[in-house]
Amino acid sequence: MTIQIPRGTQDILPGEVEKWQWIEETAKKICQLYQYQEIRTPIFEQTELFQRGVGDTTDIVQKEMYSFQDRGGRDLTLRPEGTAAIVRSFTENKMFGLPNQPVKLYYLGPMFRYERPQSGRYRQFVQFGVEALGSMDPAIDAEVIALAMEFYRSLGLKRLKLVINSLGDRESRKAHRNALIQHFQPRINEFCSDCQERLEKNPLRILDCKKDRKHELMASAPSILDFLNDDSSTYFKQVQHYLNAMNIEFVVDPTLVRGLDYYNHTAFEIMSEAEGFGAITTLCGGGRYNGLVKEMGGPDTPGIGFALSIERLIQALEAEDVPMENNKQMNAYIIALGEKAKDYSVALLQNLRRDGLSVERDYMDRKLKAQFKAAERLGAQYAVIIGDDELSSGVATVKNLVTGEQKEMALENLKEGLLD
Ligand code: ATP
Ligand code: MG
């Protein structure tokens, strides 16, 4: 048996990888505009980080982690998400003491979850996410949401739907929690075993259950919005006010809860409404997590962020038929005929490349005609023909492959000529 790629992973081959590069460059550009700085944390962390940071009752921790022991007996896990590690790093590097507050960070890299692979769901996937730590200004919530929307918009997505909700502060959540328990308890035996466990541990997450989403008690469940105290309610109104000020459309959905335990106040999701997108429509999820930094042993610091995957973004781009840019230019293909010309071309290519030109030559001993074909296939702007005659006269024949026009060019001035 030949060895195959692990289940739930994918190779991103040339031809496809340009899309990724374009998306990644766009993400970096957007973060520069919004003044978020990149942070890179390890691909693996202590397992306990995620148990505490993501939460014991979440699907991620209970079912989806790639955990292992290293040769030194340490319990480690391939990171399933970005926030916990950023909070660790924020605390460990005392970023709360930096003069610039809030601390605005972004990350872009692979995450690992042991899930059932399907369209839009992989075991290794790439997340782009941002975190703003240290501010409790509702305008930063709106900014984080705006950044995600602007990222998608600038890539060409149009059929987006932004859904927001508030999970309130601790007091509001407590009141809501009690109401949820009362609501579900009498008929909890009609729910899946996960939900039965959630009832006492974290009843909010019952609303997030994928198996029982159609149960009649779901639609009639008490709404968090009816339990927001004055502070929480004012905060939520402010966030909406700022979104309106930026002309960002949204709908409020009181059933939106995030799967992670540490969220409070603002929660949001961005979905694709493109036809043919498939069953899983969520492109991006985020929210506020004021308790997390303290929970992880740092000083009490509020935070808000989002995460989105590039895989689902590409799916949405394809569903909307957005043309993906690929303007990687190749300047010239050098066709050398004869041994001397070949020798000369080796050095010529090196020099042109050092001068910043993208150039290629033949390594397959192809005939002239086949070399022209190769040049066209590669999208070269020019073909440069150098034979023994051209070498002795110091003048090459240069064909513009776009216009078909052919002219002579002094070898000395090749660089300038090709950049024309
Ligand atoms: P879902 O409900 O789809 O499982 P989630 O709540 O697990 O999502 P988050 O942990 O909030 O998702 O991750 C943020 C985003 O990352 C999701 O909105 C989605 O775009 C993407 N994502 C999550 N899991 C995967 C995966 N296995 N493969 C590809 N993208 C993913
Ligand atoms: Mg998930």
Rounded Cα distance between 149 and 307, Å, is 12
For residue 312, report the distance from its CA to the centre of ligand 1, in Å: 9
For residue 64, report the distance from its CA to the centre of ligand 2, in Å: 8
User: Residue for token digits 């009816």?
Assistant: 226
Please state the atom number of ligand 1 nearest to the C-alpha of residue 81: 10
On the CB side of 147, how many CA atoms lie within 13 Å of its CA? 32
Lowest mean pLDDT among 35-49, 80-94, 323-337: 323-337
Rounded Cα distance between 328 and 291, Å, is 45
In the chain, where are the structural domains located?
17-169+229-319, 330-419
Q: Which residue has the higher pLDDT, 4 or 329?
A: 4
Which residue's CA is the closest to the ligand 1 atom numbered 25? 121
Task: Indicate if 330-419 has the same CATH topology as 17-169+229-319.
Answer: no
Mutate to test the pocket of ligand 1, among 7, 127, 160 (most ligand atoms within 8 A of CB): 127
Q: Can you point out the beta strands (E) in 146-203?
A: 160-166
Of all ligands present, the nearest one to the C-alpha of 310 is 1
Q: Can you point out the beta strands (E) in 19-115?
A: 37-38, 44-46, 66-69, 75-78, 103-112
User: pTM score, two decimals?
Assistant: 0.92
The dihedral through the CA atoms of 82, 84, 90, 92 has a sign that is: negative
Lowest mean pLDDT among 67-71, 257-261, 357-361: 257-261
CB 98 within 8 A of CB 132: no
262 pLDDT higher than 90: no
Q: What fold is seen in the domain 17-169+229-319?
A: BirA Bifunctional Protein; domain 2 (3.30.930)
pLDDT in tens, 388-397: 988 999 999 9
Please state the atom number of ligand 1 nearest to the C-alpha of residue 280: 3
Terminal-residue alpha carbon distance, the chain: 53
For residue 236, report the distance from its CA to the centre of ligand 1, in Å: 24
Count of helix runs (H) and strand runs (E) in the chain: 15, 16
pLDDT in tens, 177-222: 999 999 999 999 999 998 998 898 889 889 888 889 889 999 899 9
Cβ(311) to ligand 1 under 6 A?
yes
Q: What fold is seen in the domain 330-419?
A: Rossmann fold (3.40.50)
